[in-house]
A and B are shown apart, each in its own frame.
Chain A
Amino acid sequence: MNAPPPTLESLWRCLDGICPSTIATCSADGIPNVSLISQVKYVDARHVALSRQFFNKTTRNVLENPQALLVFWDPVTLQNHRVRLKYVRSESEGPLFEDMATRIDVIASHTGMTGVFRLLAADVFEVLSIETLAEFLEPPPPDAGPEILPPVAGVPTAARSELWALQRLIARIRQASELDELLRTVLQTLAEDLGFDHGIVLVADESQERLVTLASHGYDGGGVGSEIALGEGLIGTVAERKRILRFAPLGSALRYGRAVRDSLQAAGGTLHAEIPLPGLSNAQSQLAIPLLARDRLLGVMAFESTRPHAFEDWHEAFLSVLADQFASALAHVLERDEGEAPPAPRAASRERPQPSGPRHAAASKPGAGPRTAHAFRLYKNDDCVFVDGEYLIRNVPARILWRVLTSYTQDHRTEFTNRELRLDPTLGLPPIRDNLESRLLLLRRRLELKCPSVRLVGRGRGRFALEIDGKVELEERQSA
C-alpha cells in the first residue's frame, strides 16, 4: 500500500531553511526559471508564503503564469519533497508580512543593512499537491550507523512531556519570591527539561530603548550587564517588534545577508558595520521571546545553540505560554517592593570605615578578609563606574553604587533601603516602574564578577546591606 502524501504540517523541518529550497516558474513566453529561496513561511494547511526582498524573475513569472514548483529537502532525512503551487496574492502589510519582515530585519541589522535590505512583500501561494520523491535516495547500507541527529532535550523524551515540563516550570515560577531566584529558576529548568543550555534574560530600561542582560545560563556568568539597543540584532528586533523569533540556520542566513551586502556595496551603497552575534561565536540557531506585561515590554528571554535543529516549532508555542507566566511573575517581583519599607539607621554598622579625605575616601572593615584596596572611579560625563581600571557598570546602577559607597565612606553606613533610593532625586529613577530590583540585581551580579570583595546582600524585602572586605577608594572625574 502506498503511503499517503505528506501534509504541509509534516514538512515543518523543511521550512527552517537549513537545506536550500528552490522554486521553479515559467514566463508567459515559455522560458523556465529556477531560484533558491531565502524564506518559506507556513501560512495554513493549504498556503505558504515566500519572502520577496527584490523584484525578481520569479515574481515577474508568477504574475504572468501563477504555476510554480517548490522543492524542499528535509534536513534530517534528506528526503526530497515537491510542492505544486499556485500564486494567489502579495501582502505588504499585516501580521504575515510583519512576521516575515522581522526575520529579514534581523539579517539586515546584523549585516549593517537596516533600512536598505528589507522585505518588499510576502508572496502567498496555494498548495495544490505535495509529493515525496521516493527514488531520490538509495537505501542505506546495511552497516550504516544512525544518520538522524540527536534529540534536542537534555532529558530523554520518554521521561517527560511538554505539558509536564510546562507544569513544572510554572510551579517553580510561582515559588520564586526574589528576582534572582526567579531568573535562575527559569533558565536552569529550561536547560534541564528542554536542553536549552545557553540562555539569557534581558530587561528593558525605563526609556524602553535599551535592554540590559540581567541573568545568563551556560556562559559562566558572562554577559551580565551587556546592553542591546531596541531594533539591534535578533534580540533588539524581537524587543522592538514584540514578536517571538526562531532563527536558523544562522550561518546560512548571515551568509545570505553578506551576499546581499556585497552586491549592494558593489552597486555603490554605503552600509553600516556588521553587528557581531551575541554569545556563542559558532551559534547555528537562536530563539528569542519578548516578555510582555499586557503590551509593555519588560524584557527578552533568548536562547542559542551550536546545532541548527536545536529549536523546533513546538518550542515556540511552549515558550509563548511560559513567557506569559514568566513575564507576569517578573512584573510582580519588579514592582511589588515599591511600597513602604522602614528607613535604615543612618549608621547601622558597628564597623567604622576610615575615610581618607573629602575627594579620595578610603574605608576598611576590620578582620574581614584580605585588606585589598579597590579603587572605584566615577566618570560623570559617561555616567559609569570603573573598578581597578576596569569597566564595572553604568547609568542608574552606577549612580546607586556611587551613592552607597559614598554613604559608606563618608557616613559609615552599611544598611540601606529601596525606599531611600527611590526618594533620592540624584539617582534619576522614574516615579513609577523604576525597575529598582532589576538594577540592584544587575549591580550585585556585576560586583560578583568584577569585584567580589564588595557585595550587596539582601536583608529582607526592600532592604540590603553593603559588605566590603578590605578598603575602597573613591574618585570622581568628569571624563575619561
Chain B
Amino acid sequence: MRVPPRDNPPITEEVTELIATGVDMYIATRNAALVPESMVAMGVKVHEAGCSLTAYLPEALSGPTLANLRDNGQVAITLSRPRDHRTVQIKGTFVSVRRSTEGEKELQAVFRAALVEQFAGVCGIPRSLTRRIVWWPSLAVEVTVHAVYDQTPGPNAGEPLARAHS
C-alpha cells in the first residue's frame, strides 16, 4: 500500500540523504504487554511521497518483531551514522509484510556494504566479520510514517524534525 503525497512529508530529503551515506538501522516494536523488542534491520527504501517506507529485516531474526507488528503495528526505526552520530528516529505503523524480491536484494547488499565499511572505519571491526551478519533471505516490511524525530545526541534529541498532518 502506498500513501498519497502530502504537503509536508515526514521523511525529508535531509533524512533520505542521511540514509544514503551509510547508517546503522534498528527497529523497535512492542508486544501486548508493552514489552519492547528490537533488532537490526538491513536496508530501507523511502518512497517518493516521503510518507512511507519499506524496512528490510533478516528473516531468520525477525520472529518476535513480526509477531509484535501483527499484534499492534506500532514501530520505531532509528537510523544513525556512526562517524558523526547524526541520528533520526522514525515513528510509524505497520502496513504489511512480504518476502523481499531478488530485485530488492541489491539495495540491501549496498546498505550492508555501507554498514561493513562504517564498522571497519569507525569501530575497527574486521570486514570479514561484519559480512557474516545474517541478512538474506529478508522480509520487506511496509510502514506508514507518522513522524520523524531528531535523535542526534544533544539538547534537541527528541524534537520532531517533521510531523505528518493527521
Contacts and interface: CB of A to CB of B under 8 A. Distances in A.
A34 B155 contact: no
Interface in A54-80: 54, 56-57, 65, 67-69, 71, 75, 77-78, 80
Given A67-B34, A137-B132, A31 B74 contact: yes
A145 B128 contact: yes
A18 B156 contact: no
A57 B158 contact: yes
A54 B38 contact: no
B126 interface: yes
A136 B133 contact: yes
B6 interface: no
Contacts of B47: none
Contact of B61 (A33, A69, A133, A249): A133
B28 A24 contact: yes
A156 to B, nearest CB: 22
Contacts of B29: 32
B36 A78 contact: no
Interface residues of A, number: 56
Contacts of B80: 20, 36
A69 B24 CA distance: 18
Contacts, number: 160
B78 A34 contact: yes
Contacts of B1: none
Contacts of A34: 26-28, 36, 38, 76-78, 89
Contact of A30 (B74, B125, B156, B158): B74
Contact of A249 (B30, B85, B123, B153): B123
Interface string A30-48: 1111111010000000000
A313 interface: no
Contact of A147 (B27, B128, B133, B152): B128
A25 interface: yes
A145 B155 CA distance: 44
Contact of A259 (B61, B74, B122, B154): B154
Interface residues of B, number: 51
A263 B155 contact: yes
B3 interface: no
Nearest to A252: B122
Nearest to B121: A251
Given A67-B34, A135-B134, A38 B153 contact: yes
A24 B27 CA distance: 9
B151 interface: yes
A449 B21 CA distance: 47
Contact of B85 (A53, A78, A259): A259
Contacts of A284: 124
A20 B151 CA distance: 14
B13 interface: no
Nearest to A34: B28
A267 interface: yes
A119 interface: no
A56 B155 contact: no
B54 interface: no
Nearest to A67: B35
Interface string B55-90: 000001100000000001011111010111111010
Nearest to A269: B155
A150 B157 CA distance: 38
B125 A69 contact: no
Contacts of A140: 128, 132
21 contacts: A22-B26, A24-B26, A26-B28, A26-B35, A31-B76, A32-B30, A33-B36, A36-B85, A54-B154, A54-B158, A57-B149, A78-B125, A136-B61, A137-B129, A138-B134, A251-B122, A252-B82, A255-B82, A259-B86, A259-B152, A263-B157
Interface of B: 24, 26-30, 34-40, 60-61, 72, 74-78, 80, 82-87, 89, 91, 119, 122-126, 128-130, 132-134, 149, 151-158
Q: Which 10 residue pairs of A and B lie closest in terms of their CB atoms, listed nearest first?
A: A263-B154, A34-B28, A24-B38, A259-B85, A24-B36, A32-B28, A26-B30, A24-B28, A137-B132, A260-B154
